Chains A and B, each alone.
Chain A
């Protein structure tokens, strides 16, 4: 019976072309608007490291005090040199890394006569394993290399392509900004978005892949000032690197990997003890005020998802709701117009259930047609998202199998849902009434 009703449904699409076109368009536009905004929302709010997001935590220690903290007495979003070095030395977590942005240049050599940008991060050895960075050649450096302030460097696949034509360059030497570095690893394409590990420098959330990763200790040795954000409080009086590191300026992001709730509790206690120790020593004039957020909590706190894409999603859902209300009305008109036909079928022995079924299936065909139109509009819209949103974000929004499936399913399910009431009205048509007056 399904095939027959489906065929009837397809045929009835042609019966009231204007009414049908209206419905198909309403569903098509509604579902497309929702899906386009959803694809953008999905692109910006996705978990960048799904497997480990609940094991990676960002410790924060209040070194500014209640008078100079952020709103709601929130401590600074990064660490200053003193606290970063103390946490690094304490090594209270299984794995931990410190990182900040550096800006270097690959100096000209035989093949190139102009320098190339080589921007990236100063990190510690655990960085690569903590964040699951995939290597094409070689690997990261060791904890001993960290201590030895090695001149190692890990470069991106893209920079490897530019410098070495894509061949295995492990062991080769590169001159970055006048200092020689030994390539120990080449990454595959790796650019988690948003760049959760450096939300402190917010402008980078959706930026292109970094070019290099170098040992944190080496960067400090070279007195490399951060190329990312730097935030200070009070009066600034430093004039050299030494004084800068002793100032209250924050610029280093710290991450720890903690596997169990017990470890999280232990690390939080450690942070509190550390802050209490600083208070005791007279460096902090306030009670311990620490935070330990995981990746998702940190992204939420840093408001990574642009509010406009959230509002757009809500508006698009409202839009879809209106389209459905519209469809209920139009389906009602379409079905009740055929009251006479229903009366004849009922008089010939069709049960209410059968009428109900037939009209639900007919609504399903309308939904299918609307879904197909919606799919076309979605494809059009997703490719045009770049006009509306930042290109970096727009590039993330794309039409994949799951979005295609979702579009069709949502269109059909919503239309069938909308048809419950009109089909129920159709099934309740009194045969005698209709036969009498036609």
Chain B
């Protein structure tokens, strides 16, 4: 059972059109499937971004104020609200906030190391939080300390207050101080005076989830400020384990009981983290599914096309197969012949396809600022398509191998 490449090549010359079509189809399929796999992998990586939040038990209330009140009045209401929330039986802790991780858009400040520096060292998401912020979100404090209650001051509408202390995420600390000695250092996130790092939390994802934010992934800071914006405030609430639904039902009632001058949007006024995460990565998920469907259907269609054309060739060559069998070729020789034929065509196809795949990736790279594709995807794609070609050829080839030698004598 030796491979007979030369006779196969000679025979293919008589089926130029079909050969070219199968090779072309394999090439295009490879180009698309490689890039689709690459996109899927990238999107799935986005989907599994760790927020740092205890997502199973945390939910967010978007509280819009109905009246435009002065800051002290808003602050009094916020304090009363948070107190009421913390007293609910299903609630473990609650904190007022100006934004929350994976919010989609939000507040970020460029950070410099000195007040004179004009080009920022990096960019950080800004969270305002009181001494309950870290515990409510379920963040892990890995160095330094949490805010003391007396450190936390009120932050009114569009004010510029720069507290002397700050807690940063590990990602921000590592970016600004690669040597790992961030604790106790002062930084300037748009502030005229330094704000000193007193604590580092392990993971705290940014509010934004767009491409710009991905450049600064995980770089966040928390200032000891209690948000009292006259337009509205977020309440981040952590339910006791297993009591999320109860807490989400009771919390708005408790707040309305305190004051009716507020609005919870019926669509996104009260959201658990599963919802927040789903909304944040909707398009990533959609893209991954779409690419997955397209890849599977594409492979199926290509396989079907190979089956169709090979069957046709087998039908056309029944007589020749009969002659070969009559001259002593075994069934396995016929099977191997067709598999070899497909292998040669597929090889030509995958070579062309690899070139197309890389070209397509280069194009999306320049046009849509996508990352360069690793060659692993091309390798996987080549392997998949070669196997697919062999698999699709197998059934028609098996049928060919069963052509009886007597066929040679028929219909001459």
Which of A's residues lie within 8 Å of B, judged by CB? 18-19, 22, 25-26, 29-30, 33, 37, 67-68, 103, 105, 107-108, 113-117, 177-178, 202-203, 222, 224-225, 227, 229-230, 232, 234-239, 244, 306-308, 310-312, 314-316, 318-319, 321-323, 325-326, 328-330, 332-333, 336-337, 387-390, 421, 425, 437-438
Contact = CB atoms under 8 A, between A and B. Distances in A.
A236 B308 contact: no
A179 to B, nearest CB: 8
Nearest to B363: A314
A326 B163 CA distance: 66
B411 interface: yes
Interface in B56-100: 64-68
B47 interface: no
The 10 closest A-B pairs by CB, nearest first: A388-B286, A333-B312, A115-B66, A105-B66, A326-B305, A329-B21, A236-B160, A307-B368, A225-B158, A322-B28
Contacts of B316: 336
15 contacts: A108-B260, A113-B260, A116-B263, A235-B188, A238-B160, A307-B368, A312-B290, A316-B294, A318-B28, A319-B32, A322-B29, A322-B301, A329-B305, A332-B18, A336-B312
Contacts of B25: 322, 325-326, 329
Contact of B411 (A236, A310, A437): A437
Contacts of A323: 301
Given A115-B263, A329-B309, A244 B158 contact: yes
B403 interface: no
- Among A25, A26, A67, max chain B CB count under 10 A is at A26
Nearest to A244: B158
Main secondary structure of the interface of B (DSSP, over half): helix
B372 interface: no
A244 B31 CA distance: 53
A37 B36 CA distance: 15
B282 A22 contact: no
Contacts of A19: 308
Given A113-B260, A225-B157, 17 more contacts: A22-B305, A30-B301, A33-B294, A117-B263, A178-B68, A314-B364, A315-B35, A315-B36, A322-B302, A325-B21, A325-B28, A326-B25, A333-B311, A337-B312, A387-B286, A388-B287, A389-B283
Contact of A319 (B18, B294, B308): B294
Given A310-B368, A333-B312, A319 B298 contact: yes
A307 B39 CA distance: 12
A306 B210 CA distance: 11
A307 to B, nearest CB: 4
Given A67-B119, A311-B364, A322-B301, A103 B28 contact: no
Contacts of B28: 318, 321-322, 325
Contacts of B65: 105
Interface in B112-156: 115, 118-119
B368 A311 contact: yes
Contact of B301 (A25, A312, A390): A25
Contact count band on B: 35 or more
Given A108-B260, A388-B286, A389-B282, A421 B17 contact: yes
Contact of A117 (B17, B22, B64, B307): B64
B192 interface: yes
Interface string B183-226: 00000101110000000000000000000000000000000000
Nearest to B188: A235
Contacts of B68: 177-178, 222, 224
B192 A235 contact: yes
Given A25-B301, A103-B232, A315-B291, A178 B36 contact: no
Given A178-B67, A238-B160, A202 B105 contact: yes
Contacts of B104: 203
Interface in B26-67: 28-29, 31-32, 35-36, 39, 64-67
B327 to A, nearest CB: 20
A115 B262 contact: yes
Contacts of A326: 21, 25, 301-302, 304-305
A318 B31 contact: yes
B287 to A, nearest CB: 5
A229 B36 CA distance: 35
Contacts of A202: 105
A62 B320 CA distance: 79
B312 A315 contact: no
Nearest to A203: B105
A307 B42 CA distance: 14
Nearest to B108: A231
B379 interface: no
B315 interface: yes
B208 to A, nearest CB: 10
B261 interface: yes
B64 A325 contact: no
A425 B16 CA distance: 12
B289 interface: yes
B231 interface: yes
Contacts of B304: 22, 25-26, 326
Nearest to B107: A230
B309 A330 contact: yes
A322 B263 contact: no
A105 B263 contact: yes
Contact of B190 (A235, A315, A321, A437): A235
A117 B370 CA distance: 39
Contact of B308 (A107, A116, A117, A330): A330
A114 B119 contact: no
A308 to B, nearest CB: 5
Contacts of A437: 411-412
Contacts of B31: 318
A29 B312 contact: no
B246 interface: no
B108 to A, nearest CB: 10
Contacts of B9: none
Contacts of A332: 17-18, 21, 309, 312
B305 A227 contact: no
A224 B312 CA distance: 75
A213 B142 CA distance: 49
A328 to B, nearest CB: 6
B23 to A, nearest CB: 10
A319 B302 CA distance: 10
Nearest to A328: B21
B24 interface: yes
B297 interface: yes
Nearest to A325: B25
Contacts of A321: 28
A122 B322 CA distance: 85
B18 to A, nearest CB: 6
Contacts of A203: 104-105
B159 interface: yes
Contacts of A108: 260
A62 B164 CA distance: 33
A68 B232 CA distance: 30
B265 interface: yes
A235 B115 contact: yes
Given A105-B67, A318-B28, A322-B301, A390 B282 contact: yes
Contact of A26 (B36, B66, B305, B411): B305
- Among B22, B24, B66, B369, max chain A CB count under 10 A is at B66
B411 A387 contact: no
